Amino acid sequence: MAHDTSGADALRGVVLFAHGSRDPLWRAPIEAVEARMRQQAPGLEVRCAYLELAEPDLPTAVRGLAARGVRRLTVVPMFLGTGKHAREDLPQLVQALRAEHPDMAITVQGAIGEDVRMTALMAEIASAETATQG
């Protein structure tokens, strides 16, 4: 029997989904976003997950969130653009996760790098760095 996942009181979660790397320094910025989100919204369940080369993968992260009672999940692709991973790999993974977790409403945002706020911030940072170089 499916539960109502649309209610405002349903426990919410976010997965920051990135490519992954064996290098722990590569993961540091994504994990910093996770830590900041947890600090800003203590009631929100936030996890990082990776396509490859790092743990946990997306299915493992989602299973952990489901075990904690998350019923409304947003997956945030931590990519600069919508390439093959965001366009093909992620939808396939999410389709399988929806079948595995029918009581969980799973939504996927667009690639974070395509958000106008992010492109504006990147331009601002790049411009500031260029200006300081004289």
Give the active site residues: 19
CB atoms within 10 A of CB 11: 17
What lies within 8 Å, CB to CB, of 82 at 6+ separation is 110, 111, 114
Residue 93: CB atoms within 10 A of its CB come to 20
Residue 83: CB atoms within 10 Å: 13
Burial of 82 (0-12, 13-18, 19+ CB in 10 A): middle
Walk across the sheet containing 70-77 and list its strands. 45-50, 11-18, 70-77, 105-108
